[in-house]
Structure formats: C-alpha cells, structure tokens
Amino acid sequence: MTDGVQKQLPHLVFGGELVSLDSTDFRDLSKLDIVGIFPNYASAHAAWKAKAQSTVDNAHMRYFVVHLHRLLDPTGS
C-alpha cells in the first residue's frame, strides 16, 4: 500500500464443542465462542493459544484461526 500504511490482514478466532473428534461439525452453532477479530496472525495465534489452553480439559472443544484477509481478497493483491 502507499503512504507507509501496512496492508490489513484480519484474522478471526472462534471455537466451540465438536460433535466428534474426527470432524469439524459443531455440537451447537448458537454456542460458538467468537473470541474476536485480530489485525494480524501473531495476535490471533496468541488469542487462539490462550483459549485452547483454557479448554484443555474438554477434548471436544476446539478453536480455529480463520484468515479473513484471504477470503476478502483471494488473489492476494
């Protein structure tokens, strides 16, 4: 980008309880935990790690990082 402004790379962190350990189907979509949208992967990864570690006792609970910038601009330009 121009004028010294960095390109935005938003990432979404969310999670929920899965139906089974070998799928990514959630038990109840209305109970998804939307952790937040973060400006870069490093901050999203830190949030993901904290949430994942806080739910380690529930094997069916999973958190994910979604690269929103890839969905918004799939060409990468």
Summarised one tens digit per residue, pLDDT across range 4-56 is 677 889 999 999 999 999 999 999 999 999 999 999 999 999 999 999 999 99
The domain locations on the chain are 9-33
Q: H or E stretch including 53? A: helix 41-54
The answer to whether residue 2 scores a pLDDT higher than 90 is no
Residue 13: per-residue pLDDT: 98
Backbone angles phi, psi at 64, to 5 degrees: -135, 150
Comparing 1 with 56, which gets the higher pLDDT?
56
SS3 60: coil
Going by the DSSP 8-state scheme, the letter that residue 59 receives in this structure is T
Work out the pLDDT band at 3, boundaries 50, 70, 90.
low
SS3 19: coil
- Residue 13, exposed/middle/buried by CB under 10 A (0-12, 13-18, 19+)? buried
Going by the DSSP 8-state scheme, the letter that residue 20 receives in this structure is S
